[in-house]
Structure 1
Amino acid sequence: MTDVPAAPRSTRAWLLSDRPQSRAQARLGRAYISWLRFASNPLALVGLAILLVLVLVAAFANILAPHSPTAGDLAGAQLLPPLSPGYLLGTDDQGRDILSRLIHGSRLTLTVVLLVAVITAPVGLLVGTVAGYAGGWVDGVLMRITDIFLAFPKLVLALALVAALGPGIENAVIAIAVTSWPPYARMARAETMAVRHSDYIAAVRLMGASPVRVVLRHVMPMCLSSLIVRVTLDMAGIILIAAGLGFLGLGAQPPSPEWGAMIASGRRFILDQWWVATMPGMAILIVSLGFNLVGDGLRDSLDPREAGQ
């Protein structure tokens, strides 16, 4: 932690106080301690930097892209190698600038990741906490439904859903979301069962709190840290599934600059014009690595066992 820039003395002492004067101070103090633990991991900071670059590139794609991502030059600019004049990463068979397509494709990747996370995390958390807290036949029904989804490989089930719904980025998001929530439900159920008989939950019930309030206000917050870590670690897999659907022509449709579709269009030239498929593949690799590094850092910083040391 000595490598982490320290906050001003008074602010740092206020955040690290072992006797907080308010709930806000206690929450900010815990968040600050988690940040110090996260920032002490150099690889986690590298992953965070990768994700920040992804967000900035997606936000300013129209400014950063030197060429149109969809319109190409069929008169002499086809399959140009990297470092060609005006084309840093070369061009594809349609004469389109690969760098510009990668920059605009970051928007699609970030959109898919955010939409899937927004859909799957709350659904999995709700199903898991309700099943774990209620028990009995409610737990049995919800977990058997979860087991049905877990019985199929994610990519196979996503392919079946997209084939039924039709190709397109919206349907791809729905298919990925439907296949991604069961692990979150399992994790939330396990943590709920570990705390549902604890003393503070019993005290809340004795105060007259309804089961709905207990689950929403007291059980779900206990599962959030593990859920955030799991979602972050799963982002790399979501990116790969989205790229796989795009590679098979079931995701974003041409001429959208989706990275998986770019790899599919470049596989015909992989031996001679390797850059057409390699550049989007490297983009997927770097972004997936960034999410994994951030997930590992969050797992270490949010682990309550580490916090007590």
Structure 2
Amino acid sequence: MSDLASSSGSGLKAWLTSENPGSHLQASCSRAYYAWLDFAANRLALLGLIIVGLLVAVAAFAPFLATASPIAPDLTQRLLPPSAEYWFGTDELGRDIYSRIVYGTRLTLYVVVLVAVIAAPVGLLVGTSAGYFGGWVDKILMRITDIFLAFPRLILALAFVAALGPGIENAIFAIAITSWPPYARIARAETLTIRRADYIAAIRLQGASSWRVIWGHVVPLCTSSIIVRVTLDMAGIILTAAGLGFLGLGAQPPLPEWGAMISSGRKFLLDQWWLASIPGIAIFIVSLGFNLLGDGLRDVLDPKSGD
């Protein structure tokens, strides 16, 4: 059986590393395999992938990993230090901080995914449209982008949340509104280069409309750069969401949002350090994981980086 498995593995490797792929599927799998080898050679990128993978796993299995309710108070157990029963201690209402951290991964992932789903397509659409059409379209769209870029992200998000009202959904919408301009800049720069390519001219001569060229040929070529930028921006999104939660404008009590946990625990920081320190450590670790993963993806996906 071991010989059979070994020969099967060798055959698959030979198929993936063939210099003359026999089909489009084989060529795509070969490119993905070599990209994975480049990514796996970066130890820090692998560490980032592990951290992000653990975040997703903890969020998926939170009900099984948590040892208590993340929102139910128990005033008889308030402000207990870390112990065998309460691994990360308890907060001022007697809630288990470990369970709140575990369930907080769901809110963190919820914010990150929704902001990326909203902001990245908007930035991609604005950037590719501006770069492809040029002229007055480019000027109008880029001046709007410049207006958003003129304000610090957190300040602009605070303004939108203050107008919309506190809450996790409004915070996500506010962060998404302030996150799209960098993606638009990247997409525009990529499009300015792509639109002059010979194959784009050939597609136009075949009668393809401008929007068909943009969505069918320009957008796919800009996607890798956007993916890298989105991954690198995840840490900033998490910190902005935590900042809004800290100020009471993000997720509202009793939701176990890490920024709000730091806010409620800061008054006990000198004597009960675990209330604010442990959520802060969680934010740091997850932000570091996304940064390391983004650096690794940039080395693999960005053709203009690295050797």
* TM-score band w.r.t. shorter chain: over 0.9
Name the structure 1 match of 2:120: 121
Q: Following superposition of structure 1 onto structure 2, how do residues 96-111 of structure 1 map, counting pairs within 5 Å?
A: 96-111=95-110
TM-score (norm 2): 0.95
Worse-matched range after superposition: 57-66 or 16-25: 16-25
Could you tell me which amino acid in structure 2 is paired with residue 296 of structure 1? D
Corresponding residue of 1:208: 207
Report how far residue 108 of structure 1 moved. 0.2
Residue 248 of structure 1 deviates from its aligned partner by 0.3
The number of residue pairs the alignment matches comes to: 300
Q: Distance in 1 between matches of 2:196 and 2:304?
A: 20
1:36-88, Cα deviation, whole Å (9 max, x unpaired)? 1111111111111111111111011111100110112111x1111112x4101
Aligned residue for 2:53? 52
Rounded Cα–Cα distance in structure 1 between residues aligned with 2:304 and 2:34: 14
C-alpha distance in 2 between matches for 1:170 and 1:18: 50
* Cα contact 2:298–2:305 (8 A) shared by 1: no
Once the 2 structures are TM-superposed, how far is the Cα of residue 107 of structure 1 from its aligned partner? 0.3
- Equivalence for 1:237: 236
Shift of 1:305: 4.4
Relative distance call for 1:170 and 1:306 in structure 2 (3 A) is: closer
C-alpha distance in structure 2 between counterparts of 1:138 and 1:104, whole Å: 45
Take 2:303 and 2:47, find their aligned partners in 1: how far apart are those partners? 23
Q: Equivalents in 2 of 1:237, 1:292: separation in Å?
A: 9
Percent same amino acid at aligned positions?
Answer: 69
Shift of residue 301, structure 1, vs aligned partner? 1.1
Give the aligned partner of residue 159 of structure 2.
Answer: 160
CA–CA separation in structure 2 for the residues paired with 1:284 and 1:275? 14
Structure 1 stretches of at least 4 aligned residues deviating more than 4 Å after TM superposition? none
Q: Would the alpha carbon gap of residues 170 and 74 (structure 1) be closer, same or farther in structure 2, given more than 3 Å must change?
A: same
5+ long unaligned stretches in structure 2 = 1-7
Structure 1, unmatched stretches of 5+, are 1-6
Correspondence for 2:63 = 62
Q: Which residue of 2 aligns with 1:29?
A: 30
Asked if 1:87 is matched to 2:86, the reply is yes
For 2:15, the equivalent position in structure 1 comes to 14
Within 2, Cα distance between the matches of 1:209 and 1:18?
A: 34
Residue matched to 1:195: 194
Deviation at 1:16, TM superposition (A): 2.4
RMSD of equivalent CA atoms? 1.3
Q: Distance in 2 between matches of 1:19 and 1:202?
A: 29
1:269-308 residue pairs with structure 2 within 5 A?
A: 269-305=268-304
- Measured after TM superposition, the shift of residue 122 of structure 1 is 0.7
- Per-residue CA deviation, residues 155-184 of structure 1 (Å, 9 max, x unaligned), is 001000000000000000000000000000
